[in-house]
Amino acid sequence: MPLDIVIGAQWGDEGKGRAVDLLAEKSDLVARFNGGDNAGHTVTVGKKIYKLHLIPSGIIHPNTLGVMGSGMVLNPQTLVEEISMLREAAVAINPERLWISDAVQLITPAHRLLDHAQDAALGKAQIGTTGRGIGPAYVDKASRRGLRAGEILEPDFFASHVRAHFDEVNHLLKDWYHQPGLDVDALVKEYLGFNEQISPYIRRIGPLVQGTLNEGKTVLAEGAQGTLLDVEQGTYPYVTSSCTTSAGVFSGLGLGVQSVRKVMGVVKAFQTRVGAGPFPTELEGELANFLRGTGANPWDEYGTTTGRPRRVGWLDLMLLRYAHEVNGFSELFLTKLDVLSGLSGIPVCVAYQRGGRKIDVLDFSGDARLLSRCTPVYETLPGWQEDLRECRNWEDLPTAAQTYVQYIEKQTGLPVQNISVGPERSALITRS
């Protein structure tokens, strides 16, 4: 019963699409278990670039079945557009290859408008959400009034529920947030128009996933966002609204707790985040521009979903060790090592200073206020000038690059099994 899990070890945008693409080649089923179209997984195959927000990125491999679990929130319009995009790229998408849990919560245009209004009302304390309606949809789920995908299969009930939802949000927008009212009739008609396109994909997915495992086949759980955005363990309140850690796999796919073969933590060779919140190793100026846009893949450090420039900084090993603690990683997948080429020295955060004392063991439960009081303590490793994009074996890497990888292994106690040195599928070093 091989269950493999891929988790972002930072604030998201670590390059999980690369890791999923690698493992999906030998997987029978690839499943998303959390989040919505606030996620963005990019896979580059030759000259083709696939940017996916909802559908598991492993579905690009023709041998895999894709599943969207109950821990997700789904915008039907985004899904329809994504299916169309994949079909145009000659990827087979049909109800035999893609299953959507009947318990997935649905996002509406009203959720998106409410998301913008609520974040704007916070003023300087804004979270910096993607504006995709993720938070309001999860709020509706927790308050037991959300729309579920399975309701689409009962058209009359669903139409009534959708109208009640739009009426309620219309009231909130006008009376609480002083925003223009909604054209409820037009929105209901538009929203219900997606039903026919989506309904063939909806079914119970728990028996499918468990049955696949019982047959001895491989299931790959594809996480969205990153550990530090987890609603419980992340840098609260600057987090997303779902469980982004390995613990979320079981509830998000309807599985009982069982043995896991591999938990792969995906970590960038430096640190990035999108949105507000504390970021101890954040850089500005020329070094920030270097990490963001002058490495091997120019202009890559912009959000796949939002297009916003990512905040960038040096690798934070304090937070990486914390991510290992809450996920139980068995190995690391290091991405974008090629971007660091050209630096004479590379600082790495190994401890914090807080309240006049050094902290090298993070006693931390995700409180952003505590993290905002920390300043990084760095060790600087030697840099390298060589271009790594053509490296395919460990021996091809310059000594300083090998030292950098080995330092991460020593500090975390985890093996770095795979190293990405470019966006292409082939730009990868796999270590035995």
- Kindly list the domain boundaries of the chain, sorted by start residue: 3-101+203-263, 105-197, 268-327+335-414+425-430
Q: What is the pLDDT of residue 302?
A: 66
Q: What is the pLDDT of residue 117?
A: 86
CA distance 69 to 32: 6
Query: Which residues participate in catalysis according to the annotation?
Result: 13, 41
CATH topology of domain 105-197: Adenylosuccinate Synthetase, subunit A; domain 2 (1.10.300)
Q: Do β-strands 219-222 and 3-8 pair in parallel, antiparallel, or remain unpaired?
A: parallel
Q: What is the pLDDT of residue 44?
A: 79
CA distance 164 to 184: 10
CATH superfamily, region 268-327+335-414+425-430: Adenylosuccinate Synthetase, subunit A, domain 3 (3.90.170.10)
Instruction: Show the low-confidence residues of the chain (pLDDT under 70).
Output: 1, 124-128, 294-300, 302-308
Whether pTM > 0.85 for this model: the answer is: yes
CA distances from 370 to 45, 69, 235, 331, 378 (A): 42, 34, 9, 28, 19
- Partners of residue 148 on adjacent β-strands: 105
In the chain, the amino acid numbered 235 is T
Q: What is the pLDDT of residue 128?
A: 66
Q: Please give the structure tokens belonging to residue 261.
A: 């073969």
CB atoms within 10 A of CB 369: 10
Q: What is the pLDDT of residue 298?
A: 45
Q: CB under 8 Å, gap of 24 or more: what pairs does 172-178 form? A: 172/114, 173/110, 173/113, 173/114, 173/117, 177/114, 177/117, 177/118, 177/121
Q: What is the pLDDT of residue 304?
A: 57
Q: Please give the structure tokens belonging to residue 91.
A: 């990827």
3-state secondary structure of 196: helix
CATH code given to domain 3-101+203-263: 3.40.440.10
3-state secondary structure of 182: coil
Residue among 109, 52, 119, 70 at smallest CA distance from 305: 52
End-to-end CA distance of the chain: 23
Q: Do β-strands 357-359 and 271-273 pair in parallel, antiparallel, or remain unpaired?
A: unpaired
Q: What is the pLDDT of residue 39?
A: 78
Residue among 108, 131, 321, 333 at smallest CA distance from 222: 333
Helices (DSSP H) in 89-154: which residue ranges? 109-121, 134-142
Q: Are 101 and 254 in contact (CB under 8 A)?
A: yes
Q: What is the pLDDT of residue 297?
A: 46
Shared fold status for 3-101+203-263 and 268-327+335-414+425-430: no
